[in-house]
Amino acid sequence: MTEGLDDKIARVTAELTKLRQQKLEELKRAMRQLESGGDGAPTRQAYRRFSDQEVKELLEKAVTEAGDEGVSAMKAAEITSIPYTRVRPLMPKLFKKTGAGRSTLYILKPKRGK
């Protein structure tokens, strides 16, 4: 009697495990579908390389849009989608720096001769 019961428990447990795996796969598929916007495209985008000229143009645009208020290096990185580690060393070279530490903002350098 107990052998038959043990066999039945083992079969039911195996079936339950199989059903759980199927349900998990269905949920993963549904999550991938939702994350990709429903079109089945891959969800992760490859890292994009930016040329030096492109980086300079994008940063100038971000700083220009900020106007006299200025923009931090972190905010400029967010606006332009350029990695912060690439933006941070360029900002003091390209723009006028105001403030210090976390309150550092960058504005356009004044034009010479005008």
Q: Is pLDDT of 21 > 90?
A: yes
Would you say domain 52-107 falls under CATH 1.10.10?
A: yes
Q: Is pLDDT of 106 > 70?
A: yes
Give tens-digit pLDDT for 60-105: 998 888 888 888 889 998 888 888 888 889 888 888 888 888 788 8
Nearest Cα to 95, choosing from 55, 48, 47, 63?
A: 63
Other residues' Cβ atoms within 10 Å of the Cβ of residue 70: 20
Break the chain into its structural domains and give their ranges. 1-41, 52-107
CB burial of 13-43 (b: ≥16 within 10 Å; e: otherwise) equals eeeeeeeeeeeeeeeeeeeeeeeeeeeeeee
